[in-house]
């Protein structure tokens, strides 16, 4: 089994599914869904296999596979994973599976929808396992590209506007990245796009300081960094359920992952020079996002801004540049991914029936649809940082790192927990508690099949929430290798 190119298989699996979906006639909707679900299940198993094969005490990049491609330009098909990549691969597979299951009732343009969605998934997998900057960027764009049609066609409320806005922001980010990454290529003089090779090159300090913000901001836009975050809540709101799940669950993580994998790894001096600035911005993300969420009336806007706040925790952890900070940041990418997927899956269930997302128009949902409500409430608890859920540990570590590096910012970020609790409880009180609104008395409770994706996500949050070392054993060795560069 060890000789099998698992990572290539991980990319091939959804690609084969994409091929099948394209071939299948558009009328065989069920078949398309089954293909998607089966390939998702297989990728989950493959991701588990990757986890199993990855030796936490081994070298940094494992399961490598190199096929030279455009040797003249120094581009090669180079795959490999480190601890964080293993974790994120698992997350992506899980969100792929649960997202597919959450869209089981889709009837409109099923074929195109799943084709785009699977493309997005391939792109995300590609980013996590690529060790060549060219392919990294290629997959990155592949993941971002389908967002436009997915939102513009299957979305709701102001969808074209949202899709356009998202595309423009991400384009701007890509442009910055593009310049930054090319600068890396030219400046090293190695004529290679290989991340491992570039990692051995010490870039000139002034070069690092000049280029780092470009790459950081380029990726940061996708991670929802303040003040370039406003595309993200709008995008969440307009996107259909599974797209929101993938978008907030894994796509935003690509940005943070890029900062970790490329910006900090290759430009440690630049990271140090800019850490103060970006740590302050990240703290603004946390506190400001929570305050804005407190004033939203739309379910998805609340969650959208909560994502802005929670991604701030990731960014703060990345800028702390200590073991605890980095471990916490990567863990938070995973935890937040599972949590927001749960959020959007739960809200999607309610929206699909009511076509209403106005919190004020609901009330007593917990009475009307207790199980479906329980899922949202559980996601909310995780969002508030209640222990027992994975995000608690991630936040704890980021805060431990922050209090050491930036005590004042750390305290602000921790105080943000009160505001997160306020906006989440506000949603509980308005929509789920209180007297039921008779308008929605006919709501159907979630079926066992429909509850499955959400139950999976809850289990993931709980398992990593009770035994955080499961993730930390993966992340820790990688980050300590990374920190040797500093």
Partner 1 sequence: MNTTLLALTATTGPLVSCFLALVVFRRRPSLAIGAALLGLGAAAAAALALLQSAGPPDHQLLMPWLDSEESRGMPLMFGFLLDGTNLIVGAMVACIALLVAIYSIGYMADDPGKSRYFGMLSLFAWSMLSFVYAANLLQMFVFWELVGLASFLLIGFWYEKPAAAAAARKAFIMTRVGDVGMFVGLILLLQSAGSLEVLELCSSATIAALPQGRLDLIALLLFSGIVGKSAQFPLHTWLPDAMEGPTPVSALLHSATMVAAGVFLFARFHPLLVASTVLVQVALPIAAFTALLSATVAMVQRDIKRVLAYSSISQLAFMLAGLAAGGLHAGLFHLITHAFFKALLFLCAGAYIHHYHSNDMVVIGRAGGRNMHWTTAGLIVGGGALAGIPPLAGFFSKEGILAAVGGLSSPAPLIALYLASFLTAYYTARMVFLVTRPNPASGLASLEELPQKPAREAPLSMRLPLMILTLASIAAGFAAKRIAALIDAPEQHPSAMMIGSAIATAALAVALAWFEYGRKQATQRSFVERMPTLHRLFLRQWYIDEIYRATFGKLVAALSGLARLFEDQIVDGTADKIGRATVVSGRAAAQTQLGAFQVYVGSAVIALAIFAYFLGR
Residues 149-188, interacting with partner 1 (CB under 8 A): 149, 152, 160-161, 163-165, 167-169, 171, 174-175, 178, 182, 186
* Closest to partner 1 by CB, 43 or 130: 130
Strand partners, 194: 132
Provide the b/e sequence for 37-57 (b: ≥16 CB within 10 Å): bebbbbbbebbebbbebbeee
Member of 324, 348, 406, 431 binding partner 1 (CB under 8 A):
324
Q: How many other C-beta atoms are found inside a 10 Å radius of the C-beta of residue 361?
A: 14
* Closest to partner 1 by CB, 129 or 366: 366
**Smallest separation, CB 365 to partner 1 (Å):** 10
Member of 403, 443, 452, 481 binding partner 1 (CB under 8 A):
403
Stretch that binds partner 1, among 53-61, 204-212, 349-357, 391-399 (CB under 8 A): 391-399
* Closest to partner 1 by CB, 269 or 324: 324
**Smallest separation, CB 62 to partner 1 (Å):** 20
Helices and strands in the chain, H and E counts: 22, 2
- Three-state DSSP class for 69? strand
Alpha helix positions (H), 189-298: 195-199, 205-222, 231-238, 241-246, 252-258, 265-266, 268-293
Gap between the Cα atoms of 221 and 251, Å rounded: 11
Member of 10, 198, 263, 292 binding partner 1 (CB under 8 A):
292
Q: Does 112 bind partner 1 (CB under 8 A)?
A: no
Site string for partner 1, 441-470 (x = CB under 8 A): --------------------------xxx-
Residues 194, 235 contacting (CB under 8 angstroms): no
Gap between the Cα atoms of 298 and 217, Å rounded: 28
Q: Does 69 bind partner 1 (CB under 8 A)?
A: no
Tokens matching residue 160: 């074209």
Gap between the Cα atoms of 89 and 124, Å rounded: 8
Q: Does 81 bind partner 1 (CB under 8 A)?
A: no
Strand partners, 70: 75
Q: How many other C-beta atoms are found inside a 10 Å radius of the C-beta of residue 68?
A: 10
Q: Does 148 bind partner 1 (CB under 8 A)?
A: yes
Q: Does 435 bind partner 1 (CB under 8 A)?
A: yes
* Closest to partner 1 by CB, 292 or 333: 292
Stretch that binds partner 1, among 45-53, 202-210, 261-269, 432-440 (CB under 8 A): 432-440
Residues 260, 268 contacting (CB under 8 angstroms): no
- Residue carrying the six token digits 């190695």: 190
Q: Does 400 bind partner 1 (CB under 8 A)?
A: yes
Q: Does 422 bind partner 1 (CB under 8 A)?
A: yes
Q: Does 386 bind partner 1 (CB under 8 A)?
A: yes
Q: Does 364 bind partner 1 (CB under 8 A)?
A: yes
């Amino acid at each position: 089994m060890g000789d099998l190119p698992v990572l290539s298989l991980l990319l091939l699996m959804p690609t084969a599914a994409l091929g099948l979906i394209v071939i299948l006639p558009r009328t065989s909707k069920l078949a398309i869904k089954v293909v998607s679900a089966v390939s998702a299940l297989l990728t989950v198993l493959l991701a588990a296999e990757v986890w199993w094969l990855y030796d936490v005490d081994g070298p940094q990049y494992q399961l490598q596979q190199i096929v030279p491609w455009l040797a003249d330009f120094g581009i090669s098909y180079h795959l490999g994973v480190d601890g964080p990549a293993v974790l994120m691969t698992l997350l992506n597979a899980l969100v792929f599976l649960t997202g597919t299951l959450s869209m089981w009732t889709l009837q409109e343009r099923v074929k195109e929808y799943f084709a785009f969605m699977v493309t997005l998934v391939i792109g995300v997998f590609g980013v996590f396992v690529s060790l060549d900057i060219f392919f990294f960027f290629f997959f990155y764009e592949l993941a971002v590209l389908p967002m436009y049609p997915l939102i513009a066609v299957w979305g709701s409320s102001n969808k074209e506007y949202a899709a356009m806005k998202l595309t423009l922001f991400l384009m701007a980010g890509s442009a910055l990245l593009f310049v930054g990454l090319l600068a890396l290529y030219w400046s090293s003089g190695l004529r290679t796009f290989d991340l491992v090779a570039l990692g051995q090159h010490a870039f000139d300090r002034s070069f690092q300081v000049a280029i780092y913000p470009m790459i950081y901001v380029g990726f940061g836009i996708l991670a929802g960094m303040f003040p370039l975050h406003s595309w993200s809540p709008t995008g969440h709101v307009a996107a259909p359920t599974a797209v929101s799940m993938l978008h907030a669950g894994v796509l935003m993580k690509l940005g943070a992952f890029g900062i970790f994998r490329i910006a900090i790894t290759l430009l440690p001096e630049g990271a140090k020079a800019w850490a103060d600035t970006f740590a302050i911005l990240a703290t603004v993300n946390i506190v400001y996002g929570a305050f804005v969420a407190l004033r939203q009336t739309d379910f998805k806007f609340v969650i959208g801004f909560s994502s802005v706040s929670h991604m701030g925790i990731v960014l703060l952890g990345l800028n702390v540049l200590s073991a605890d900070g980095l471990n916490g940041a990567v863990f938070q990418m995973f935890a937040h991914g599972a949590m927001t997927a749960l959020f959007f899956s739960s809200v999607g269930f309610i929206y699909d029936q009511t076509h209403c997302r106005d919190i004020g128009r609901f009330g007593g949902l917990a009475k009307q649809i207790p199980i479906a409500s329980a899922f949202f409430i559980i996601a909310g608890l995780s969002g508030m940082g209640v222990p027992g859920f994975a995000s608690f540990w991630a936040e704890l570590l980021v805060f431990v790192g922050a209090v050491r590096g930036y005590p004042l910012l750390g305290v602000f970020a921790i105080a943000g927990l009160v505001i997160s609790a306020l906006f989440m409880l506000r949603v509980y009180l308005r929509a789920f508690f209180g007297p039921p609104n008779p308008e929605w008395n006919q709501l159907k409770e979630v079926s066992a099949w429909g509850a499955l994706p959400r139950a999976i996500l809850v289990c993931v949050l709980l398992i990593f929430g009770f035994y955080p070392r499961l993730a930390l054993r993966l992340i820790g060795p990688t980050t300590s290798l990374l920190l040797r560069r500093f």
